[in-house]
Amino acid sequence: MNGVEELVQVFQAIAQEQRDGGHVAIGTLLSRSPPSVRVGRLTLDGDRVWINAAAIYVPRPELGEPPNPDLASPGDRVLVVSPDGQTYVVVCKVVR
Is pLDDT at 1 greater than 70 in this prediction? no
Q: Is 70:92 a contact under the CB 8 Å cutoff?
A: yes
Is pLDDT at 9 greater than 60 in this prediction? yes
What pTM was estimated for this model as a whole?
0.73
**SS3 (DSSP) at 43:** strand
Mean pLDDT calculated for residue range 69-75 = 90
Is pLDDT at 40 greater than 80 in this prediction? yes
Percent of the chain with pLDDT over 70: 84
85 or 26, higher pLDDT? 26
Beta-sheet strands, E only, within the chain: 23-31, 36-39, 42-45, 49-51, 77-82, 88-93
Residue 15: predicted pLDDT: 60
Banded pLDDT at 83 (limits 50, 70, 90): confident
Is pLDDT at 93 greater than 80 in this prediction? yes
Parent domain of 48 = 3-93
The gap between the terminal CA atoms of the chain, to the nearest Å, is 11
Domain count, the chain: 1
